[in-house]
Amino acid sequence: MNWIEVTVYTTGEAYDAIADMLTGMGASGVSIIDPDEFRKSIEQLDSPDYIDSGLMKSFGEDVMVKAYFPDSRDEAELVQVIESEIDRIGKFINTGKGTIETALICDEDWANNWKKYYKPFKIAEDIIIKPTWEDYDAQGNEKIIEIDPGMAFGTGTHETTAMCAEILAKHIKEGFSVADIGCGTGILSIIAAKCGAGLVDAVDNDIVAVKVAEDNVKLNGCDSVINIIHGTMDDLPERKYDLIAANIIADVIIGFAGQVPGYLKKNGMFVASGIIRQRQDEVINAYKRAGLECHEIHSKGEWVAMLFRCPGSL
């Protein structure tokens, strides 16, 4: 079987929205190649020779969102619909060039050509994320987390995931109970387990992400700690958690503000990420109305992550 590879050139602000749009259109896989994040990852590992110079030089300044559609789709019609959707998204956020390129590739190319962009990187202090096909030797107290993104293509390089990882590494204590809302490929759940959490309930409404998360959890030997659930927050077990993490988007995070306190223990923490700076106050106000107090605000690029605390049993 052959595939239509669609590449959209856009900005760091817009690539999440464009990736979601392409997934909604039926893409069988979506990958994101952010040249800035790629360079930062290499710099963090202090190994400029780790990547061949030809690959490094091939990067431009635009973020590339690559989506893969069966070649049974009408390519011209597909591009026309994508152009229309990019125009729609551009009314709300800066999509940059928004240009589109297509290529016809075979199964083997689809399965392997994106892997060259995904290398080991430091996501937080002493926490290294590495793909299963790469070698990396731990230094000192580093925790190594192996990830096979599969069709979900979640690499953890985005600022929102990195900020969540840093907050989890800082606040999780031995034996903590954690809920990961919108777990994706399971990176944050695995980090929580590696940092000492005794129980992690991870939920996602994307069945592909759930399958990839299950595989990654087993790969890292965390299946006795992490439970993967297909669904939403409403599908979590009836229990209260020491910490809840949600790396999603502002609208969703605001939408379940009224539910979060009911899942938190006294003095429990809620970590919210995936929030564009312009929506920061909206999120804070929503959780203030729900009875939570904002204790930390972290920022990287256009994004913010926040730590809220539950002052009492709600």
For every residue of 111-151, which 3-state class applies, written as one string? HHCCHHHCCCEEEECCEEEEECCCCCCCCCCCEEEEECCHH
pLDDT value of residue 282: 94
Q: What would the mean pLDDT of 148-157 be, rounded to a whole number?
A: 52
Q: What would the mean pLDDT of 263-271 be, rounded to a whole number?
A: 94
* Beta bridge pairs of residue 3: 70, 105
Q: What would the mean pLDDT of 117-121 be, rounded to a whole number?
A: 72
Whether the CA torsion 72, 22, 150, 227 is positive or negative: it is negative
Which tens digits make up the pLDDT trace of 158-190?
Answer: 678 889 999 999 999 999 999 999 998 899 999
Predicted TM-score (pTM) of the model is 0.69
Task: Dig out the tokens for 154 from the structure.
Answer: 């979640």
Of the listed ranges 39-43, 194-198, 247-251, 277-281, the one predicted with least confidence:
39-43
pLDDT value of residue 48: 36
pLDDT value of residue 229: 96
pLDDT value of residue 110: 58
Distances (CA, A) of 202 to 6, 31, 199, 223, 275: 31, 22, 10, 11, 20
Cα gap 254→243, rounded to integer Å: 17
pLDDT value of residue 167: 94
Which tens digits make up the pLDDT trace of 30-43?
Answer: 878 877 665 555 44
pLDDT value of residue 248: 86
Q: What would the mean pLDDT of 111-133 be, rounded to a whole number?
A: 75
Q: What would the mean pLDDT of 189-207 be, rounded to a whole number?
A: 93
In terms of Cβ atoms closer than 10 Å to its own Cβ (0-12, 13-18, 19+), residue 184 is: buried
The rounded percent of the chain whose pLDDT value lies above 90 is 48
Which tens digits make up the pLDDT trace of 66-93?
Answer: 888 888 999 999 999 999 999 999 988 8
Residue 138 CB coordination number (10 Å): 11
Q: Domains of the chain (ranges plus CATH)?
A: 2-117 (3.30.70.120), 123-309 (3.40.50.150)
